[in-house]
Amino acid sequence: MAKILIVSHYTPSLINFRGELIRSLVNRGHEIIASGPEEGFERELGALGARFVPIPLERAGINPLKDLITFKEIFNLVASLKPEVVFSYAIKPVIYASIAAGLKKVPRIYSLITGLGYLFGDSNVAQRLLLKSVLPLYRLALKYNSVVFFQNKDDFSLFKTLGLLSPHTTGIVVDGSGVDLERFYFVPPVVNPPSFLLVARLIKDKGIPEYVEAARIVKKKYPEAVFRLLGPFDSNPHAISQNTVTRWVEEGVIEYLGETKDVRPFIASSSVFVLPSMYREGVPRSVLEAMAMGRPVITTDVPGCRETVIPGVNGFLIPPGDITALSKAMEFFILNPEKISLMGIESRKIAEARFDVHKVNKVMIEAMGL
């Protein structure tokens, strides 16, 4: 059996997004060492059968010195552990762990592209310059990979167009991170009063300001409608401040629910799930969880998000940044409350057919030969 090092950008994601994958690999007899920047999750990872090793890493930082330190620590970790397999996901871990593993001649190197974020979207001059520096690093890193997994076909197509995949590297598209259909079980939606829920890190790129503005429009006509926001504050440069959220709450336009380790009660008490994301997602896990619990979805027609909705069947796709389209989609459910349950049932069907976490993990494990 293999010693496998999993490198993440955010330690809680090892539990929330990769927990079932880790458990499956452990059950197959593999030794798992999981690494990430945040400490304090050793017990949860231990329950999955994995050992935790912290690494210094700033998810959104662009300080070259700090990134050099990150690379050195990952390189030293690979050198000391001598794993047979290195698996990484998110931009910095994929780049630094793949290069480190390649230099140390790790036999099997795999990466998962979990979305491309704002960096590959409509960007300013600084972002374009940053992208120019990232592309050669991606190209170098991925040449060491046997298989690179993508969570949507748009990202796979873009990487091929940009020549980021070497001829010997196999690209495979999987259906996001998947969702545990037993844990996120179907619950009939609350229809009266109509309530909308957005779950995300509190950053502008998730479309939170657009959600609030659309809520203002809708509440003028339908004051009984409820708009809720759930998620943690973030250190991202595009983060939304606590003062801003407080102003929204005091204005009466939204309810802020704080952050939680279990989103299920909040999805259960909602009518419709909303994620007006402005950037390239992988396949947003929050949407999959809402679909599994039987909620119709309003999200944007951008890579990753568009994978989750069949327009008019289980929700609506709107242009990113289009507040009018967002408010009209919300109004549709207020005027047609019977569609909430009908479209929610379709969401559950799609989740069962495409996004079962066990099906997704089976594809990945087989492709990695584990």
Q: What are the boundaries of each domain within the chain?
A: 3-178+357-367, 195-354
The per-residue pLDDT for 164 is: 94
Section 41-63 average pLDDT: 90
Domain covering 3-178+357-367 assigned CATH 3.30.365.10 in the classification:
no
What CA–CA distances, in Å, run from 187 to 199, 340, 351?
18, 12, 14
In whole angstroms, give the CA distance from residue 279 to residue 300.
9
Q: Which of 135, 141, 144 is nearest to 163 (CA)?
A: 135
Q: What does the pLDDT read at residue 171? A: 97
CB distance 322 to 273 below 8 Å: no
Give the pLDDT of residue 67: 87
- Least confident residue range of 66-70, 195-199, 348-352: 66-70
φ and ψ of 170, to 5 deg: -90, 130
* % pLDDT > 90, the chain: 88
| pLDDT number for residue 126 | 61
Instruction: State the distance between the two ends of the chain, measured CA to CA, in whole angstroms.
Output: 8
Check pLDDT > 60 for residue 165. yes
* pLDDT at residue 124, as a whole number: 65
Position 115 scores a pLDDT of: 83
At 269-299, the pLDDT tens digits run 999 999 999 888 889 999 999 999 999 999 9
pLDDT at 360 over 70: yes
In which band, very low, low, confident or very high, does the pLDDT at 188 lie, cut at 50, 70 and 90? very high
What per-residue confidence (pLDDT) applies to 119? 65
**Mean pLDDT score across all residues of the chain:** 94
Q: How confident is the model over 352-356, as a mean pLDDT? A: 97
Instruction: Say what the pLDDT of residue 121 is.
Output: 59
Task: Outline where the chain has alpha helix (H).
Answer: 11-16, 19-27, 42-48, 64-81, 91-103, 125-142, 153-161, 208-221, 242-251, 264-268, 285-292, 323-335, 338-354, 357-367
Q: What is the pLDDT of residues 85-134, one digit of tens each?
A: 999 999 999 999 999 999 999 999 999 999 886 666 555 666 667 777 78
The whole-number pLDDT of residue 125 equals 62
The yes-or-no verdict on residue 144 having pLDDT over 80 is: yes
Please indicate whether residue 255 or residue 116 has the higher confidence score (pLDDT): 255
Question: Given this chain, do its domains 3-178+357-367 and 195-354 carry the same CATH topology?
Answer: yes
Residues in the chain: 370
The pLDDT-based confidence of 61 (bands split at 50, 70, 90) is low
To which CATH superfamily is domain 195-354 assigned? Glycogen Phosphorylase B; (3.40.50.2000)
